[in-house]
Amino acid sequence: GESVGLHLPTLSVQEGDNSIINCAYSNSASDYFIWYKQESGKGPQFIIDIRSNMDKRQGQRVTVLLNKTVKHLSLQIAATQPGDSAVYFCAENYVDSSYKLIFGSGTRLLVRP
Amino acid sequence: NAGVTQTPKFRVLKTGQSMTLLCAQDMNHEYMYWYRQDPGMGLRLIHYSVGEGTTAKGEVPDGYNVSRLKKQNFLLGLESAAPSQTSVYFCASSHGGGLFFGSGTQLSVL
């Protein structure tokens, strides 16, 4: 079946640097994408979302980019902080009425002090 | 406003035992979901509900049943637990956009 996947399982960055986490999706019919952050022992936490009619969306220190041509999604975190250390998941929503999300396998972000 | 609350937080079962996980949300969301997460993996959808009295199968429904008798509650049942069902279970709810997750239930089946 179609799925969402990630290129890198672990990303290590220096505190203060920018982080980029990538995600590839295979379902061209997906119209809504979300990035989640999951800290150890906790449930996923919503970070930012983007609809398929947009290429870019910015939040506080985070930016999501969507390239529908190559079916690629990325999460950029500016001035990465130790509190950003977590596992990040991208998720896609198929075009139906259930709003269910299909998740990728996750990327672990490690921030070096 | 507690958001999404899951009970219990931890449970250990013996193979063949049954149990029910409870999820409650106080945000008046129509949509509710049960996911499981295995070590080093993403979340996989077990069952979901688009409204009170309705349920549907997700990616990995076998061995589980669900009920949505009240809008605010979504129950996940295991009739005969198997070691393969050892996992962390997350409930989520939605108003039609992003999902809001509970803190999870760690289930071990021996």
Mean pLDDT across A15-19: 97
Candidate from B33, B42, B59 with C-beta closest to A105: B42
CB–CB contact A89 B59 (8 Å): no
pLDDT tens-digit readout, B5-29:
999 999 999 999 999 999 999 999 9
CB–CB contact B48 A104 (8 Å): no
Q: Provide the mean pLDDT of chain B.
A: 94
Residues 6+ apart with CB under 8 A from A58: none
Start-end of H helices in A17-91: none
Could you give the percent of chain B with pLDDT greater than 70? 99
pLDDT at residue A5 in the model? 46
Q: Report how many Cβ contacts below 8 Å link chain A to chain B.
A: 59
CB–CB contact A44 B44 (8 Å): no
pLDDT tens-digit readout, B66-92:
999 999 999 999 999 999 999 999 999
Task: Report whether pLDDT(A62) > 80.
Answer: yes
Candidate from A1, A44, A99 with C-beta closest to B101: A44
Could you give the percent of chain A with pLDDT greater than 70? 90
pLDDT at residue A7 in the model? 46
Mean pLDDT across A17-45: 91
Calculate how close chain A gets to B53, using CA atoms only, in Å: 14
pLDDT at residue A2 in the model? 39
